[in-house]
Each structure stands twice: as C-alpha cells, then as structure tokens.
C-alpha cells in the first residue's frame, strides 16, 4: 500500500515535495540563517571566555640574615678498623672448635684444633729417621778414626825404613781410604741435618694444627664445625673472621664526583642508620681517596670517616647516610633558593576588539620580554620583588648554597625584603 502526502501539508514542505521544493527558497534562506546563528553562538562563547580575567598572585618569602651550613650527603657502610681472616695452612679434620660468634678473644687464644693423629705418626717416623742418620754418622766418624790411625802407622814405618816399607801402593791406598772415610762422615752429617729439618717441619705443622687468634678482638663469623674436613691446597680456607676493636670503627662512603672537591680531611660529619632512625652519630673524615669507581655511569670516590662506638650499638655492615659539613658561614644574607629559579610569567597586552571577525580569526602569539642572565657569570643571578603590585628585578651575586637558601655576597637586597618564589593563579 502506498502512502499519499498532501502537497499543501507541512510535512510535504519539510520533505521538499510541496510547492517550495521546486522554487529553491528553502536552500537559499535556511542554510545562511543556520550559519549566522552558529557564528553568533561562537562569538558569545569567545567573549564570555575573554570576559573572565585571570588574576595572578605571587608567593613571596623574606630575605633574612643567619648562618649557612653547606653539607655533602653520601651513603656507605660501617666496617671495623682492622678485620682479620683466620685460616688453616694444613689439611685435616676439625677436632674441636673453641670460639663462637661474638666471642671476645685475645691474641694467642685457641680458636680451633685439628686432628693430629696422622701428623703424630709422621713426626715419629721423622724422629726415627733422625736417630738412624745420627747412628750412621757415628759409624762414619769411627771409620775416619780407624783409617787415620792406619795411615799414621804406615807413615811412621815409611819414615823409619827410609821409604822402603810399606810400598808406595800401600801408602796410596791408606790415604785414599782415609779420604773416603772423611767424605762418608760428611755425608752422614748432612743426612742428620736433613732429618732434623724434616722433624722441625713436622713439629711446625703440629703447632699450626692449633689455630690461634692473631689479635685481640671479637669473632664476627666462623665457618667450621667439629668433624668438618679442611682442605688447604692452593689457598688457606677462612675459618674465622675477627674484628680487632668494635669500639672504634670506620664509615666508608662514596662521594659523588661533583662534591669530592669540597671534601677534605678533618671535616666533621653526622650520619644515621636504619637501626636507630632518631639518633645521629658523629664522625670525622680521615681519608679522601683518589681512586675512583664507576657504577651505572656514576663516578664516585671512596671516603673514610672515623667513628666512635663505645656502647657497641653500631655493627659492621650497617648502611649509613652521612652529612659531611664542608662549609659553615655565620651572619650572612640568605635568600630562598626558590627565588633564584623564579621567572615572571609572559605579560599579554590588551588588544583592541576586532569585532566578530577579529574574535573568530586566530591571532599569532606575541612573545613577552623575559630578562636574560648575563652569560659567562655563573654567580650573577636575578630575583624579583613586588613594588605596588608590580614585579621589579634585582641583580645579586650569590655564594654558597645548601639547597634551601643561598648566600648573597653583593647586591641591593636587604634582610626583610620580600622576594617572589612562585605564582598563584586564580580565575575571577
């Protein structure tokens, strides 16, 4: 079924099937009217946004006079002043362990003993070999005495007979026998010395089977148990780790390459550890080493600080964060460091209204004039003050700084002056 539409009805006019569809008046008047309405809406929105003015307020702080402490922060670990690893030169089985963790020991005190059963047998063999060598030496000396007496007797008979008795051959044989006897005596004497040296070496090993403390200190670690086998082949295994005196310790920190030029021996420092977050410990720099280390592209220099630990609250291996006092100034003019980083916002000039077209068309941005620092003068800075609600710049020369405040060495900036540190923008 086909729907019929009255040519004179409103629907026919809207659908373009009525009498107006052919005339084209709908397209001529309705489309431009829609464009005009849209333009008016855009103008109203733009003028409404422009009608809202932005009021800029400034955050200020006072310039003051006071003391300035410049610190360098570095992290590191606590270590004993003297740490000794005690090992064993002998291989064998641990018989007894006579020191445990945290045991206070003295120099010469027994820490552990090795089983010496096999070593005792070796020493007995060495003693027997020494006795045998000494017996052979005595036998050789007796042979020397015998051959010497025989040679002396031949010499007397030779002299009495006028060289006729004994024969020359017998005389030469007697002399040769005497020389051989002396050589054998010297050989057996050397064998005795060799046997004595072997015995002394085994006795020394026996003394080393008793592991003793080389220093007065405390046991930090032990890595052996009774019955454990110790194999000392190429390197001596570490059995105990001793710290000489934990009442005096060292803090080894890594100072960044940008701050190492400020660090010197004798400077004071304070540090904190996680075990005592509310306690500050004192230290003093004893050494700033020239050797560097690079980690992830960051170059640092190891610095050693002397630490007093009378109550043994600090322990080796603790991580500490140290604040090293590298400079201290008294009664100087201080300006907030935030004021040195402040730069005024771009001031927009009021523009004459260009009508509807001027409101619709975009305009190129205008660059505000911002002051530039004088190049080549890193200590010349500029701060801003408020004078009757308007910003005014003041040139100053700065010195030391600690991040929060900066020293003012010269410039027309008096204590009590309010300097701008930031902006607070609100819409009215």
Q: Give the per-residue SS3 of 368-428.
A: CCCCCCCCCCCCEEEEEEEECCEEEEEEEEEEEECCCEEEEEEECCCCCCEEEEEEEEEEC
The answer to the question of residue 136 being in a domain is: yes
pLDDT tens, 250-280? 999 999 999 999 999 999 999 999 999 999 9
Asked if residue 214 and residue 137 are part of one domain, the reply reads yes
Domain assignment present for 359: no
Q: Say if residue 390 is in the same domain as residue 344.
A: yes
Parallel, antiparallel, or unpaired: how do β-strands 54-62 and 83-87 relate?
unpaired
* CA dihedral sign, ordered 330, 334, 340, 342: positive
Please indicate, yes or no, if residue 364 is contained in any of the structural domains.
no
Label residue 11 by pLDDT band (50, 70, 90). very low
- Encode pLDDT of 161-206 as tens digits: 888 889 989 999 999 999 999 999 999 999 999 999 999 999 999 9
Q: Give CA separation, 286 vs 13, 27, 248, in Å.
A: 100, 94, 13
Domain that holds residue 417: 54-66+333-348+371-427
Who's near 77: CB < 8 A, 6+ residues apart? 251, 252, 317, 318, 319, 320
Q: Which residues contact 62 (CB under 8 A, 6 or more apart)?
A: 415, 416, 417, 418, 419
In a domain, 211, yes or no: yes
> 345 by DSSP, 3-state: which?
coil
Predicted local confidence at residue 288, as pLDDT:
95
Whether 106 and 191 share a structural domain: yes
pLDDT over 90 for what percent of the chain? Answer: 65
H-type alpha helices, 216-295 = none
Where on the phi/psi map is residue 57: left (φ > 0), alpha (ψ -120 to 50), or beta? beta
Quote the pLDDT of residue 164: 85
Kindly state whether residues 398 and 379 are assigned to the same domain: yes
């Amino acid at each position: 079924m086909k729907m019929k539409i009255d040519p004179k009805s409103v629907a026919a006019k809207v659908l373009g099937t009525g009498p107006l569809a052919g005339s084209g008046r709908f397209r001529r008047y309705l489309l431009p009217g829609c464009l005009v309405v849209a333009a008016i809406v855009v103008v109203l929105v733009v003028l409404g946004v422009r009608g809202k003015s932005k009021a800029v307020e400034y955050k200020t702080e006072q310039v003051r006079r006071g003391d300035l402490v410049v610190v360098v922060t570095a992290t590191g670990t606590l270590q004993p002043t003297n740490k000794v690893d005690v090992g064993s030169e002998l291989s064998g089985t641990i018989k007894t362990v006579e020191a445990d963790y945290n045991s206070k020991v003295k120099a010469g005190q027994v820490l552990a003993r090795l089983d010496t059963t096999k070593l005792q047998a070796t020493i007995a063999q060495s003693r027997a070999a020494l006795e045998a060598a000494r017996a052979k030496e005595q036998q050789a000396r007796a042979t020397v005495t015998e051959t010497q007496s025989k040679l002396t007797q031949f010499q007397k008979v030779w002299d009495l007979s006028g060289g006729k008795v004994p024969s020359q051959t017998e005389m030469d044989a007697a002399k040769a026998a005497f020389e051989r006897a002396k050589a054998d005596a010297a050989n057996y004497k050397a064998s005795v010395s060799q046997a004595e040296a072997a015995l002394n070496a085994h006795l020394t090993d026996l003394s080393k089977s008793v592991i003793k403390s080389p220093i007065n200190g405390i046991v930090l670690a032990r890595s052996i148990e009774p019955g454990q086998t110790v194999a000392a082949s190429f390197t001596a295994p570490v059995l105990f780790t001793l710290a000489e005196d934990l009442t005096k310790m060292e803090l080894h920190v890594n100072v960044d390459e940008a701050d190492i030029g400020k660090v010197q021996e004798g400077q004071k420092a304070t540090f904190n550890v996680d075990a005592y977050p509310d306690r500050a410990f004192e230290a003093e720099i004893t050494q700033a080493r020239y050797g560097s280390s690079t980690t992830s592209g960051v170059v640092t220099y190891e610095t050693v600080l002397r630490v007093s630990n009378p109550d043994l609250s600090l322990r080796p291996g603790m991580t500490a964060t140290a604040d090293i006092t590298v400079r201290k100034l008294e009664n100087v003019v201080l300006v907030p460091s935030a004021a040195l980083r402040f730069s005024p916002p771009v001031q927009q000039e009021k523009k004459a209204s260009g009508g509807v077209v001027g409101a619709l068309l975009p305009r190129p941005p205008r660059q505000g004039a911002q002051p530039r620092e004088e190049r080549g003068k890193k200590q010349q800075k500029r701060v801003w003050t408020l004078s009757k609600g308007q910003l005014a710049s003041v040139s100053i020369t700065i010195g030391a700084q600690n991040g929060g405040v900066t020293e003012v060495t010269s410039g027309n900036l008096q204590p009590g002056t309010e300097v701008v540190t930031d902006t607070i923008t609100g819409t009215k």
